Amino acid sequence: MTARFAADLGARAVQLLDPEAAHRATVRLMASPFSPRFHVRCDSMLATSVAGLNFSNPIGLAAGFDKNAEAPNAMLRLGFGFVEVGAVTPRPQRGNDRPRVFRLREDEAVINRYGFNNDGLEAIAARLKRRRRMGVVGVNLGANKDSENRIDDFVAGVKRLEGLVDFYTVNISSPNTPGLRALQDKKSLIELLSRVTKARDALAVKAPVFLKVAPDLADADKADIASAVIEQKIDALIVSNTTIARPEWLKSADAAEKGGLSGKPLFLPSTELLAEFYEALKGKTPLIGVGGVGSAEDAFEKIKAGAALVQLYTALIYKGPGLIPAIIEKLPALLKAEGFSSVDDAIGSGV
| Residue 259 included in any domain | yes
To the nearest 10°, report the CA torsion of 327, 79, 215, 111.
100
Tally of structural domains, the chain:
1
CATH of the domain at 87: 3.20.20.70
Closest by Cα among 341, 351, 348 to 47: 341
The one-digit pLDDT tens for each residue of the chain (351 residues) are 476 666 666 667 677 799 999 999 999 999 999 999 998 899 999 999 999 999 999 999 999 999 999 999 999 999 999 999 999 999 999 999 999 999 999 999 999 999 999 999 999 999 999 999 999 999 999 999 999 999 999 999 999 999 999 999 999 988 888 888 888 888 899 999 999 999 999 999 999 999 999 999 999 999 999 999 999 999 999 999 999 999 999 999 999 999 999 999 999 999 999 999 999 999 999 999 999 999 999 999 999 999 999 999 999 999 999 999 999 999 999 999 999 999 999 999 999
Cα 312 to Cα 13, 62, 91, 174: the distances in Å are 21, 5, 27, 16
| Residue 351 included in any domain | no
Cα 79 to chain center, whole Å? 16
Q: Kindly report the CA angle at 45 between 44 and 48, in degrees rounded to 5?
A: 90
Q: What is the pLDDT of residue 183?
A: 82
| Residue 324 included in any domain | yes
Q: Which domain holds residue 301?
A: 3-346
Q: How far apart are CA 306 and CA 14, in angstroms?
A: 35
Does an H or E element contain 10, and which?
Answer: helix 3-14
Catalytic residues: 174
